[in-house]
A and B are shown apart, each in its own frame.
Chain A
């Protein structure tokens, strides 16, 4: 199972990728939305963990573009956001995300969401 992690914060990127790798996932990383979309096209990940606050095109926009591209439109997306404000979840789902989780990541909760979406363990 291949997961693309789009996250601009290096520490978070490193940390999350290491923990996912530890759990047996193949992880590719991108630091912004543009690069993320490129990698979705080239790497064909099973799932994208999309940070919403990104430089350049943000997570919402990247997700919208992903959904707009038929070749990659089927890719699963989980939005990650530090904003815990009411409505964030709705905004993420509206943009086309399949699920939503808040940062800091509760590893078990996130893993549960991932396996639920992918329908399988790594």
Chain B
């Protein structure tokens, strides 16, 4: 603000100075001009006056002294400043004449009078004989001039020259040395000519003083100047004021714009700058207004968006918080509901069971034997119902991590009969046939009977529910895997089966294959979840295989000797799966969870250990197939655990997979680790590694064959043996498939488009790691001796496609996998 004001002031001052200067300059020039003009004017006046005076003098002279006097010029005389030349010229001419002029008192008197009358100094000079001009008479010096002046005669008697009539020239009376021309006068010299020949007899001169005119001119110009000063000052002041006002007017919009910009800079939104002028400032203001408006619009839009997003985010957060809270509340409510519900259901059920028992006793006492079987049925059904309710409570306990195992040793057969008699009515309901296949020597199992019974009951009831007029088979087998004994109980139905997606969701609580299933088939959806949880609690697994439309097979596998372990919600021990057991030593429970989820899908049981010490203890106790080991743990760290494991003769054979964030493979391998994986865990890789170190089951097989039917056959064959199968239609695709991970084994056809088996082999063997992977050729091609020879050095085995014995193939593959695994340095 200060700046703009100072600019206005400065501009006004500068403009004022310029105006004043210009005016002064103009005034000065004007004055100068006026002075010169005044001089000219005065000269002009003086000459006019002189001319007039001379005219008067002429007439007077003519009257008094009739003669040929010609005092007045024919034309008005014009004086110029400093013009002395005529006098000189005249004087010179006069001096050249030899006519004496004489004065007399009358002439002098006449001159004085004329002087007085006209205000002009009049003199008459006569040409002296010595060529000097002598002033004979002068109006103001008449008194001091010597000798009388006489009017010159028209003709000098001595010379015969004509002289002015009545003028008597006094000889020798002329006064010398006074005939100078004053600087202050303008003097007119006038020749007096002889009447006869017109020669110059003398000179008459009239002087008019310069001083009065000059003084008058000076006074006049001073007056003009004095008159001009206030005018000039007034004009300067006025114009300055006007300019200042104008400048202010011009600066106001600029100031407004400046103000607006300042406010904008300070983050305020200024009002629109109101400038109505159509000049550049107006355009600037307009542009500024548009810019401000645009900016404001943009800013408002951004602010709106930010506000919107913030609100959305807040709402989402709130919603999430509420949802979480609601979920927690709902979960608590669910548990509480289940507990209460169980209690409320059990109270009347107690009465039913109790009274049926009383009645049974009474009936026996009173010999009412025909009533006893029915009373027993009531009693049995009540007991079973109670069992179901208890199991619901149990599930909520499992979910809450508060489930205990009541382990006892009991005969498997007895338990089976119990379950079968209970399930029989349900099986019969949909006209299904139940086939039980159990060896006589199945023996006993040490487990939680209630939970096992409930698990089997669930599987059978599930099968009954989804099968109509079909067969449900319960097969029980004893197995031995890795030195542990297992009981495998499978329930196979010929029901509706499930899609892979449905299988995926199968074991989630309160979820059935889909919502419509619940409506159609009823049930709580808890059965399979309970079964799975119970199986896991007892160190077993539940797996499912299903083909939509053909039926499902659920397999429950339990160790014959279930070991009780303290169980918490975040530390669920699974003592061994049927296809191997992995001990995870890691202090991060999330890691246990991740590994468990990853490996359980593969039928591999996962046992968690939270510290190195616990891990070592469990390793001695359980002899797992594979151990995964973290490095950074409280207490004994991973390196120590690894040293201890490798130093223990009983444990040193167990492959140890380092699973850690620390990338120090060299140390790991030097201490005896079999494999080194860094976190974050690549789950596929983990599965492959664990599978490789596990002796049972399949590995990763790559099937390269252009015949789709053949590929399908291989795939089914291998998948049934737990192989992971990838496929390729020719050698090129086969090489591409290698990029996604090196398989454990390759099944190769020979005759294929684009790149045949031979070409693939040579390309593959050239690859890094390619020489270690066994290749099995399966071909319908009749091999020449040469081809056979070539193949024998590059492939492990050649099978004839047309006469392929699947069992032999699988056995061979298993053998090769074992060799390859050993070859890779499995301890």
Contacts and interface: CB of A to CB of B under 8 A. Distances in A.
A9 B354 CA distance: 13
Contacts of B349: 104
Interface residues of B, number: 20
Contacts of B355: 11, 15
A15 B350 CA distance: 10
A19 B351 CA distance: 12
A103 B386 CA distance: 11
A84 interface: yes
A25 to B, nearest CB: 15
Interface string B349-368: 11101110110010000000
Interface string A52-91: 0000000000000000000000000000001111100000
A11 B393 CA distance: 23
Interface residues on A, range: 10 to 19
A107 B357 CA distance: 9
A15 B347 contact: no
A12 interface: yes
Interface string B584-597: 00000000000000
B378 interface: no
A111 interface: no
Given A103-B346, A104-B386, A12 B354 contact: yes
A47 to B, nearest CB: 19
Contact of B346 (A16, A82, A85, A107): A82
A115 B361 CA distance: 20
A15 B390 contact: no
Interface string B773-802: 000000000000000000000000000000
A65 to B, nearest CB: 25
A12 B351 CA distance: 6
Contact of B358 (A9, A18, A86): A18
B347 A82 contact: yes
Contacts of B404: 86
Interface string A89-116: 0000000000000011101000000000
B397 interface: yes
B430 interface: no
A106 B358 CA distance: 12
Interface string B312-349: 00000000000000000000000000010001001111
Contacts of B505: none
B354 A84 contact: no
A70 to B, nearest CB: 35
Contacts of A16: 354
Contacts of A19: 354, 357-358, 361
B765 interface: no
Interface in B723-768: none
A85 B357 contact: no
A18 B339 CA distance: 29
A105 B357 CA distance: 11
Nearest to B353: A104
B402 interface: yes
B436 to A, nearest CB: 29
B343 A12 contact: no
Contacts of B346: 82, 103-104
B397 A82 contact: no
B343 A15 contact: no
A83 B343 contact: yes
Nearest to B403: A86
Contact of B339 (A9, A11, A85): A85
A37 B350 CA distance: 25
A86 B351 contact: no
Given A11-B355, A12-B350, 15 more contacts: A11-B351, A12-B354, A15-B351, A15-B354, A19-B354, A19-B358, A19-B361, A22-B361, A82-B343, A83-B343, A84-B390, A86-B397, A103-B350, A104-B349, A107-B357
Interface of A: 9, 11-12, 15-16, 18-19, 22, 82-86, 103-105, 107
16 contacts: A11-B350, A11-B351, A11-B354, A12-B351, A15-B354, A15-B355, A19-B358, A22-B361, A82-B350, A83-B339, A83-B343, A86-B397, A103-B350, A104-B354, A105-B350, A105-B354
